[in-house]
Amino acid sequence: MWAAACTRSPGQTWTYAAGELREGSRCLTVSAGVGITDCAAAAAGARTWHASSRATVHPATGLCLERTGPATVRGPPSAAPATP
């Protein structure tokens, strides 16, 4: 598992097979093949999330889980994966 506690630049993306994404006290396990994508609104820093036919919002984290493509993490500005 990876624990995330670093900050990152908006728009930065990480890709890995499986791990754990943290934002503050909120945590989400990442399974292989599941992408976690930032679904924030266009307004900078807005925490407005949406779900689509390809993605669902994780209730504990507010991140969208996409079940297509490789596991990709695009979290809010405070989220980041640590080195495995």
Q: Give the DSSP letter string of 3-33.
A: -------TT--EE-SSEEEEETTEEEEE-TT
d(CA 59, CA 4): 18
pLDDT confidence of residue 42: 29
Domain boundaries, the chain: 14-73
pLDDT confidence of residue 35: 45
What is this structure's pTM?
0.22
Q: Enumerate residue ranges in the chain where pLDDT < 50.
A: 1-57, 66-81, 83-84
